[in-house]
Structure 1
């Protein structure tokens, strides 16, 4: 049986276990592909279980998944009203009409829950967690499972309920 790991922090795990840090179920650890050159110096862990760089984002960025060295330090969220920043160690950004730094901006989005979702940097990558919202959180049109963290990639489209959208910007990968 293939070794299992947390897709976010890369910790080795057992079948049926949930990561104590990331609260995610394990995925098979990718096998190294023979003939691939070693990945350049890493800018941080990659949460993609099929990472072509063996789980490490090269300092120059990854053209395959869009992760960049910038992700380790933060990400930008492009909302209709402008840019909101996520930074490593900066805590979670709550999206909602209550107890959120964006609450005033979200007053006109009645279908966004009072405590809808949170975005944060975890293991060097931006992550979104739906907080059990009534109308859902979507990544690229796919509804995410409530309370299960979802790693985001450069260019991902986030949708909170029906009307509020944002795009993830991890900076240039080239």
Structure 2
């Protein structure tokens, strides 16, 4: 008659203990150092997290202030008027003039010479104001030739930037 609760129980227990699956009772030096280091690391980490949570309100306020400043700077940069690459003014002289919207179609007439001269005169005044008031444009030779011209003709069209030349040619085309 067998006194074991199960057959071969004693043999399985012997193999279990001999295989080293049961942890040792006395830890090695490496295990002790690892446990102490782990405890120290966890303690320091919890202290840092506690300090960080204590300062979270002031950190949040600083981040919010910097974010609002950066957002407003980006909005100003995005909404700024772009500088014209031809005449150098902000905004372009052509865009500053709101009167350049005639209701009649553009016809090639002899009368366009006088209108072109008047348009060149108006743009000359606008460019002169840009030079004097905003310092956007340099006072170079072209500026002085434009300033001292009393009556603008077709040969004086080259004194203006390309954007203004296009605008004048668009609104007052030359007769064929």
| TM-score past 0.5 threshold | no
> Which is richer in helix?
2
Larger RCO (alpha carbons 8 Å, 6+ apart): 2
Q: Work out which of the two has the higher radius of gyration on C-alpha atoms and give 1 or 2.
A: 2
State the TM-score, normalized to the length of structure 2.
0.19
> Which is richer in strand?
1
State the TM-score, normalized to the length of structure 1.
0.19
